Structure 1
Amino acid sequence: MLYKIWMSIVKEFLLLKRDLGGLIILFIMPLVLVITVTLIQDSTFKTVSDSKIPILLVDNDKGSVSKTVFENLEKSNLFSVVTRIDNKTISEDVARENVFKGKFQLAIIIPEKLSSDLQAKVDQNVEKIVSNLGFADSTAASEPQRIIKEKEVKLYFDPAVQMSFKNAVMSSIDKMISQIETKSIYTTFEKQLGEGSTNFEQKSFISFKEIIPKINNKEIRPNSVQHNVPAWTLFAIFFIVIPLSINIVKEKSQGTFVRLRTNPVSNLVVIIGKTITYSVICMIQFYMMVAVAVFLFPSIGLPSLNIEGHLALMSVVALFSGFAAIGFGILLGTIASTQEQSAPFGATSVIILAAIGGIWVPVFAMPKIMQIIAKSSPMNWGLDAFYDVLLRNVSFLEIIPKISLLFLFFILTTAIALFYDKKKRAV
């Protein structure tokens, strides 16, 4: 039995050796992919102080409010403020045209008399309060107040920018304007009650503090590497579905499988041989990805993947993810009649599993219905297990449910393949 399995493994490696170019692509493609994607996404996990976003600011106010907005934007380390183009002061029309053509991502238009009208409105409100308390002159309070219309700070966004960027900018500016209004109210109260009679603290009373988990008194901060290496490792592992299914189809079309069946070799032995062979390939892929993340990434300006104390559990997750991919490949190769069926369907199905599994878009950001569907993707189980090990520092017992699902997927798809093959040969 063991000899038959060994010879089946040798046979699989000989088949793979015939397509050496395809095998090299199978290893090189994931490495190029993980390096490229991680480089692109790395800036989203870090501060962008090294790459400020240029934005246009049109100041029609020329007052204290616009000056404060300008200073706060400059201090934010997020934006570089542009107020002139070709040595000419920017108008609203020029700003709108430049943003809508994609030359700038954002333009902020500060309306006329914003500072003076804001102060006038605050004065009116404070006078009402002070008058009701009996501190103000009754004749002054009875004078008719002029109507002050609300002011709008216009924001022009490049139509191509993401909604998350828009929401972040609008929230930041709204907070900035609120702080300016609050400061104006405090200052007006001080004037009404007499200079030096009170001392308002300008610092926010309520603040937010992120509590970051620690291991050995070291903070665990997720970075682009910890997110991308597991995701694209899974993507690479599942891409073995294509060569595996193609080889099975080749065996059927070339008569190899029939010759194997005429020998005293069960279909189960053949599948065990394929499983062991492709499991080795999956683990080689995994360790190559880890080696690149640990040794190459620091030399190209990316964070190194911290695998201290995690490698053993990560290997377990990679192995069981490989089992799931192999089971899917065996099923596809058994059902497909031609390579033209297996290759496109294999590639498309892997991309679909990756899309719904959270490889490209986080599951929590998906619509509710897609979040439910995502739970059915083996890539989602594997990705969650990798995150549990790398980011949540869980034990082996805590990943058993997820790797059990992956192994059950392998057993189920392999069983269906065996049943389908038996029925087909019985006809």
Structure 2
Amino acid sequence: MYKIWISAYKELLLLTRDLGGLAVLFVMPLLLVITITVIQDNTFKIIQENKIPILLVDLDNGSVSDKIKTTLTNADYFELIIENEEKKAKDLVQKGTNQLAIVLPENLSRDLNLKIEENVSGILAKFGVEEESEEQATAAKNKEIRLYFDPATQESFKSSVRNNIDKMIAQIESESIYKAFQEELGSDDSDILFDTGNFITFKEIIPNSGKKELIPNSTQHNIPAWTLFAIFFIILPLSINMVNEKNQGTFVRLRTQPVPYAIVLSGKALVFLTVSLLQFGLMLLVGVYLFPLINLPKLEIGGRLPLLFLVAFFAGLAATGLGLLLGTIAKSQEQSAPFGATFVVILAAIGGVWVPVFAMPKFMQAISNLSPMNWALNAFYDVFLRDVGLSELIPELSLLLFFFLMTTGIAIIYNKRKNAV
């Protein structure tokens, strides 16, 4: 045990003397998680809270276009800008000045009313209330509301806007149909009142087995994901220190001592495992205390702190094992640094840190199961968002422990064979 502590002390001295390495381990992750969370939180709120300026070209100038203008003006998510020419609106969107332009076609109100009257008259004629008019049946023409989107606009934003506009147009059509029935039946508004409000509504419920409801937000998604990214970045200073020991002759001196290679690796693992836990604790402090000060959602931990540190511990083991393996195999910094950084990015990409796994192609979803970041991220989500217990975390924690044992074992065997006399 004494030899492990001495090895760990030596590794700690190397780490504390490397200011650049400390910045990579602690400052870079903080800047990264704050930047990503600010950007993503604003994206989450863009439809609900931030008003989006949109151009409206009204070629109809009728009752329907007036209702559309009123609805858009009263909407919480649009800021209406009236534009007279379709070509000018199209150019503004093409240049990126505006993200969206809506063009209402000519005779929209007239043809919509004709179409509704045609349908209402046809229904009443079938019940013998009135005779169907052939003249009306050919008068109405289908209309097309044109939407111009900035080419750089993401598809998710387009879908959200289309859904909101489609819902608005459907409500206007429903009100017009009810009004047409009233007129055809010869009734005024005081005789027959149609309720045009939504009869069917939606309620979002988060399944949590009757426990306290947890509302997911950008903080709860970003803190675990980018903390894992930071934890796995410890393979860079760890592997670089091991390469420097080889190049500077320190490793040769260690080999002359009666110390097994496993003891040397244990000291390194102890130091960098502690670093990973410090990183995680620092991230939690940022989420709990700093994020509310910059108008970001507060990280809700509740009574889940022991489980969170347990997951961080096993994630740190997996990252440390990978760093020990890379440092053992690499012969120079030119090998360890670029490969380590690139490999961490690949693990993050396929592990769901950047893009959710469910949004990936099927074959990439299968590959993501091989990433230790994916195992750790699922475990963090289980604790943060699904409020599970220790028993549900055992599969992911077992995989992380197995990854550490496998990579460390390979490093020991490789070193033994390489230095065999």
TM-score, structure 1 as length reference = 0.94
- Counterpart in the other structure of 2:397: 403
- Counterpart in the other structure of 2:20: 21
State the AA in 2 paired with 1:135.
Answer: V
Q: 1:184 to 1:50 in 2, by over 3 A?
A: closer
Q: Measure how far apart 1:221 and its partner are.
A: 1.1
- Counterpart in the other structure of 1:180: 172
Q: Measure how far apart 1:75 and its partner are.
A: 2.5
2:216 to 203, 218, 222: 222
Contact 2:111 2:139 in 1 (8 A): no
Q: 1:142 to 1:6 in 2, by over 3 A?
A: closer
Q: 1:143 to 1:17 in 2, by over 3 A?
A: closer
State the AA in 1 paired with 2:165.
Answer: I
Structure 1 distance, partners of 2:356, 2:298, is 22
- Could you list the runs of 5+ residues in structure 1 that have no partner in the other structure? 85-89
Which deviations, in whole Å up to 9, do the C-alpha atoms of 1:152-173 show, x marking residues without a partner?
0000000001011111111221
State the AA in 2 paired with 1:121.
Answer: K
- Counterpart in the other structure of 1:158: 150
- Counterpart in the other structure of 2:41: 42
Structure 2 distance, partners of 1:298, 1:131, is 64
- Counterpart in the other structure of 1:124: 118
The farther-off stretch of 261-270 and 298-307 is: 298-307
- Counterpart in the other structure of 2:67: 68
- Counterpart in the other structure of 1:345: 339
The answer on 1:359 being equivalent to 2:353 is: yes
- Counterpart in the other structure of 1:87: none
- Counterpart in the other structure of 1:201: 195
Q: State the secondary structure of the residue aligned to 1:103.
A: coil
Contact 1:234 1:382 in 2 (8 A): yes
Structure 2 distance, partners of 1:361, 1:145, is 51
Contact 1:131 1:141 in 2 (8 A): no
Over the residues paired in the alignment, what is the CA RMSD in angstroms? 1.9
1:190 to 156, 179, 182: 182
- Counterpart in the other structure of 1:253: 247
Q: Quote the sequence identity (%).
A: 57
1:268 to 262, 266, 287: 262
Q: State the secondary structure of the residue aligned to 1:426.
A: coil
The farther-off stretch of 411-420 and 102-111 is: 411-420
- Counterpart in the other structure of 1:135: 129
Which deviations, in whole Å up to 9, do the C-alpha atoms of 1:263-314 show, x marking residues without a partner?
1100111111111111011111111111111111111212221112011111
Q: 1:295 to 1:201 in 2, by over 3 A?
A: same
State the AA in 1 paired with 2:4.
Answer: I
The answer on 1:30 being equivalent to 2:29 is: yes
Contact 2:51 2:76 in 1 (8 A): yes
- Counterpart in the other structure of 1:8: 7
Structure 1 distance, partners of 2:371, 2:136, is 68
Count of residue pairs brought into register by the alignment: 419
Structure 1 distance, partners of 2:302, 2:13, is 36
The answer on 1:295 being equivalent to 2:289 is: yes
Structure 1 distance, partners of 2:23, 2:358, is 35
TM-score, structure 2 as length reference = 0.95
The farther-off stretch of 143-152 and 107-116 is: 143-152
Structure 1 distance, partners of 2:283, 2:192, is 63
Contact 1:190 1:198 in 2 (8 A): yes
Structure 2 distance, partners of 1:108, 1:175, is 15
